[in-house]
Chain A
Amino acid sequence: MRTRIAYIASNTFREAVRDRVLYNLIAFALLLSGAAILVGQISIEIEKLVVINLGLTAVSLFGVVIAIFIGIGLVSKEIEKRTLYTVLSRPVRRWEFIVGKFFGLAGTLVVNTFFMAIGVFAALFYVSHKFVRADTLILIALYFIVLEFLIICALALLFSSFSSPLLSAVFAFSLFVIGSFAEDLRNFASMAHGLSRWLATGAAYLVPNFSAFNVISSIAHEQPVAGQLVLQNTLYAVFYAVMALSGAILIFEYRDLK
């Protein structure tokens, strides 16, 4: 069972790589280098700030886009192209297929992020000419970004299990946007009454809450991150991803592959 999941995961990774997804790293590298070189001419005092903000924001955004674009096709493409038939005629459980795809996509993003992290540190070195202890905070920010990816991958996979790629993309991007002001939604819910309170509360807890994951601005100012937050975010990401994946598994388990 574990090995089948591993095989599916590694094949998903292979597919992404052969789909030339890693070429996005070139665009990323160009963006970051350009920024690192230009920023010194605009505002000397905040070079480092700009490089960290821009670098980490780019890591996050590029990753979200990749997660959604690949994720939405993970299941639906296989159904449409009927590559799934010969896979499921083998002793592969449907849920193993979903889990394998998830790990494959997540793994692709982790690898991608790893290379991007090297780029960010390189750009940082270029503008600061040295590393300080506080720069390790960047690793924490990157970890949180990866946790965000896990949530988004799981959601994209969920949508892919029942919806066409176009709709899935719309849903996934919408949830990403809503998730960034989920905090407001919760505040609104606490102030509302009656039915709208129930609906808003439900929605607020159902959408992914990304606000706690974005520590880019504070680590750019070298503010420490509480260990409590690291634990909290890890748990939330794991639980949320499990929730979305369970949904995907349930839907896929009962789906007729016409």
Chain B
Amino acid sequence: MPAIEILGLEKTYSVGFWRKRPKRALYPLQLTVEDGEVFGFLGPNGAGKTTTLKLLMGLVFPTGGSARILGHDWTDPAVKAQIGFLPEQPYFYDYLTAHELLEYYGQLSGVPAKDRKKRVDQVLQQVGLCDVQGVQLRKFSKGMLQRVGIGQAILHDPKLVFFDEPMSGLDPIGRREVRDLMAQLKHEGKTVFFSTHILSDAEALCDRVAIVHKGELRGVGAIEELTSTVQGKVEVLWQGSQVPAAIKALGAECHVSGDRVRAIINENQQDAAIDILRRERLRLIAITPVRTSLEAYFVEKLRRAETTAGSTV
């Protein structure tokens, strides 16, 4: 059973006071997330990622479509007991301490009283906030708040967690910690659905990703599949400081550093390049495939979307 099935959820806002103009936040979205996978929901700012999450959480009501979460209708309140949510740049009741907040959320999630205390302590340990559990949240730094946020999302041991931009605003150490935590969640068999615009994080964690742009889905699939559709490049390394004109004619980017020249050419130009170097009697050192990053795929997809004017409804 898929963890999440998004069946055509769409959202149009009416903007403006007198003359209501419709604003499309999300076009009908079809998406499935399998049980136990870490799914990345990527896109630039304003792409519709947060809208999608809010629709799934029931914070915002769709203009059309529906969804199923863990086999139930997404509006079913019983489902909420099995999911966790970390919103973007979360803010919590600042007059509570971390311990009190988790305790309160545990109560609201229906964690039985006898398990609650143990679970709260466990989670505080897990997110590394044991030392400051008695400090009021108003004194917490951004990174600490993020950790509280993750804590409240996993407190009731949900099967499925939703994170909206979990790394935003964190320093490298914080980001590493969050990444480790998410990996651990996957290890525990939970499904993780998170949105981000930082591709390197997605690359490191995700089994599959989806890319949205301006409210529309642009691509979905495992990372290797996606990147393989974009033409690969190779790096050719030879000795010397000479750049033959023929190589340049291939449209290669060449860098000379000391005794070596490095040129990046398309994969299919590989053989032509080798011939040119042999003809020029230049000594080939290495040919290395350049791993196409998700970024390239991303940028490519978006650029293509920009050039195709008009929207697909």
Contact = CB atoms under 8 A, between A and B. Distances in A.
Interface of A: 3-4, 7-8, 11, 14-15, 18-19, 81-93, 254, 256-258
A91 B110 CA distance: 8
Interface string B99-139: 00000110111100000000000000000000000000000
Contacts of B95: 14-15, 18-19
Contacts of A18: 95
Contacts of A89: 57-59, 80, 83-85, 162
Nearest to A92: B108
B59 A257 contact: yes
Contact of B59 (A8, A11, A88): A88
Contacts of B78: 91
Given A90-B80, A254-B61, A7 B91 contact: no
Given A88-B59, A89-B85, A91-B77, A7 B107 contact: yes
A86 to B, nearest CB: 6
Contacts of B80: 89-92
A129 B92 CA distance: 51
Contacts, number: 80
Q: Please report whether the interface of chain A is mostly helix, strand, loop or mixed according to DSSP.
A: helix
Contacts of B83: 89
6 contacts: A4-B110, A11-B104, A15-B93, A85-B87, A90-B80, A91-B109
Given A88-B58, A90-B80, A82 B91 contact: yes
Nearest to B11: A256
Contacts of B91: 81-83
Interface string B52-69: 001001111100000000
A86 B81 CA distance: 12
Interface in B69-91: 77-78, 80-81, 83-87, 89-91
Q: Lowest 5 CB-CB distances: which A-B pairs, in order?
A: A89-B85, A91-B80, A18-B95, A257-B59, A85-B87
A81 B87 CA distance: 12
A256 B58 contact: no
Contacts of B81: 90-91
B60 A86 contact: no
A90 B108 contact: yes
Contact of B85 (A4, A83, A85): A85
A21 B255 CA distance: 69
Nearest to A11: B104
Contacts of A8: 108
Contact of A86 (B13, B77, B110, B149): B149
Contacts of A84: 59
B199 to A, nearest CB: 25
B64 to A, nearest CB: 14
A82 B87 contact: yes
Contacts of A254: 61
B218 to A, nearest CB: 24
Given A85-B90, A89-B80, A89-B84, A4 B59 contact: no
A4 B106 CA distance: 11
B152 A86 contact: yes
A1 to B, nearest CB: 10
Given A15-B95, A91-B80, A256-B61, A86 B107 contact: no
Nearest to A84: B59
A90 B90 contact: no
Given A86-B86, A89-B80, A256-B13, 8 more contacts: A14-B96, A86-B85, A86-B90, A88-B58, A89-B83, A91-B78, A257-B60, A258-B13
Centre residue among A14, A81, A91 by max chain B CB count within 10 A: A91
B54 A257 contact: yes
Contact of B87 (A7, A11, A86): A86
Contact of A88 (B57, B61, B110, B152): B57
Nearest to B83: A89
A93 B81 CA distance: 12
A11 B104 CA distance: 8
A257 B86 CA distance: 15
A253 to B, nearest CB: 10
A13 B149 CA distance: 23
Contacts of B61: 254, 256
Interface string B248-269: 0000000000000000000000
B298 to A, nearest CB: 27
Contacts of A11: 93, 104
A258 B152 CA distance: 21
A18 B61 CA distance: 34
B155 to A, nearest CB: 10
A258 B92 contact: no
A257 B149 CA distance: 19
Centre residue among A11, A86, A91, A257 by max chain B CB count within 10 A: A86
A4 B110 CA distance: 8
Contact of A90 (B59, B89, B96, B109): B109
A81 B83 CA distance: 22
